[in-house]
């Protein structure tokens, strides 16, 4: 991901993320987990009962605690591949939106 980020002045797009993931999924898993941990850090106190819980646009997102980093990454890749309109956007935003589409928590 570092070579892509430097080529694009620090901004990794969804398209670049998906292209990199086709070459090597290991850095993709690290990138996804970094995004999840960053999002969780912002909401840790409110949603602490869920290991993969965070807010996207003010709405809670909860993912099954049985999911591994590999599963999280597979879900992200699958969702983003089916949403070509997200390709120019930041990979961080794309990852959060992709995972929010799989949320298992009640949004009330």
Q: Supply the pTM of this predicted model.
A: 0.78
Distance between CA atoms of residues 104 and 29, nearest Å: 21
- Angle value at C-alpha 98, between 16 and 3, nearest 5 degrees: 20
Mean pLDDT split into 10-residue runs, the chain, 108 residues: 53 93 93 87 60 72 86 95 92 92 70
pLDDT of residue 53: 65
The per-residue pLDDT for 48 is: 58
Q: Are 27 and 73 in contact (CB under 8 A)?
A: no
């Amino acid at each position: 991901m570092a070579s892509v980020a430097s080529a694009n002045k620090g901004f990794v797009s969804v398209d670049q993320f998906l292209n990199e993931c086709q070459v090597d999924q290991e850095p993709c898993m690290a990138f996804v987990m970094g995004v999840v941990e960053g999002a969780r850090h912002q909401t840790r106190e409110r949603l602490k009962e869920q290991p993969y819980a965070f807010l996207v646009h003010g709405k809670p997102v909860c993912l099954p605690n049985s999911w591994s980093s590999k599963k999280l990454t597979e879900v992200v890749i699958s969702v983003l591949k089916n949403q070509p309109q997200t390709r120019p956007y930041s990979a961080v935003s794309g990852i959060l939106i992709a995972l929010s589409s799989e949320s298992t928590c009640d949004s009330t």
